[in-house]
Amino acid sequence: MLAPIEDIFCEIDDFCKGFYQKQSEYLLPNANRKRMRNCRMSSSEIMTILILFHLSHYRTFKDFYHESVIKYLKPYFPKLVSYNRFLELKSLIIPILAIYMKHKSGSETGMYYIDSTTLKVCRNQRIHRHKVFDKLAKRGKSSMGWFFGFKLHLVINHKGEIMSFCLTAGNVDDRKPMETLFKNLKGTACGDRGYISKNKAQILFENGLNFVTKTKANMKKIARSSFEKYLLAQRSIVETVIEQLKSICLIEHSRHRKPDNFLANALSALIAYTIKPRKPSINQRFLMDYNHTLTSS
């Protein structure tokens, strides 16, 4: 395990302590509330193990837990529980995983990219037999063909940092969550041709965000500045981020047996990506030259 376990755990533990302390201030007293025993493992320990899996070379969490956590990481987690019990505990930390992922959002740089990717839950041949995500997953169509599952919608900045994300069913239009994903973001954003919408672009422009895309063959050409053309040419950076989420952080697989496990896996994979020291980014030299030109003019 090459990941800095102590650093990851300390950062998560500090966040959890602050979160639960702040949360306790808003809880109403209830004399009839049943006593709840504290879990043997803390939330920060459970979160750390989930995130470490996505930073490891293991392809399945079961192998990681048995071959790495139990054998070699027991000194770091002295109150380790069994594998089956750990799977039950995963669903309890989904809310704090989501909040921590929001806490790990990137810095506002004024240059953003948006894209979506498929999260398949089974092969197309098994759609009619699939029961785990019944009435949750939907059929959708991407550039790679039909699939059954969900969509991950992602906004990143030019440094490769995740700014916002959301999960939808597979049949949801990519343009539907745009306003939510770009909320409070100012500057310039780029997307592919699937995000072309005059109404959406106008709404985002009124909110302080200039949204640009390439035009289709049957559309009238739009004059773009050299800065906008450069950002559009570097749009593949968001596809590189998605590829790393799938190939390195293993955000997608078809072995889920509960919807809760799917959410915990997706959130911990996103957090694991934010911890990676090196992320895809675009050339800074052009941006520095461009900013210097604006300043001098």
Read off the pLDDT of residues 178-215 as tens digits, 9 standing for 90 and up: 999 999 999 999 999 999 999 999 999 999 999 999 88
pLDDT score of 15 more than 80? yes
> 112: closest CA among 226, 208, 254, 11?
208
pLDDT score of 294 more than 60? no
pLDDT score of 10 more than 80? yes
- Residue 206 is inside which H or E element, if any? helix 198-206
Distances (CA, A) of 203 to 26, 156, 180, 208, 209: 35, 20, 12, 9, 9
Rounded percentage of the chain residues whose pLDDT exceeds 70:
92
pLDDT score of 3 more than 80? no
> 240: closest CA among 126, 159, 127, 123?
159
Digit-coded pLDDT (tens) for 79-98: 999 999 999 999 899 999 99
pLDDT band at 285 (very low <50, low <70, confident <90, very high): low
Instruction: Tell me what the pLDDT averaged over the chain comes to.
Output: 89
pLDDT score of 130 more than 80? yes
Instruction: Give the chain's domains with CATH numbers.
Output: 5-24+38-102 (no CATH), 108-289 (3.30.420.10)
Digit-coded pLDDT (tens) for 147-163: 999 999 999 999 999 99
Segments of the chain assigned E as strands: 111-120, 138-142, 145-157, 162-169, 187-191, 209-213
Look up residue 153 and give its two tokens. 């919608």
pLDDT at 221: 83
pLDDT at 288: 60
SS (H, E, C) 232-249: HHCCHHHHHHHHHHHHCC
pLDDT at 119: 96
pLDDT score of 1 more than 70? no
pLDDT at 63: 95
pLDDT score of 238 more than 60? yes
pLDDT at 144: 85
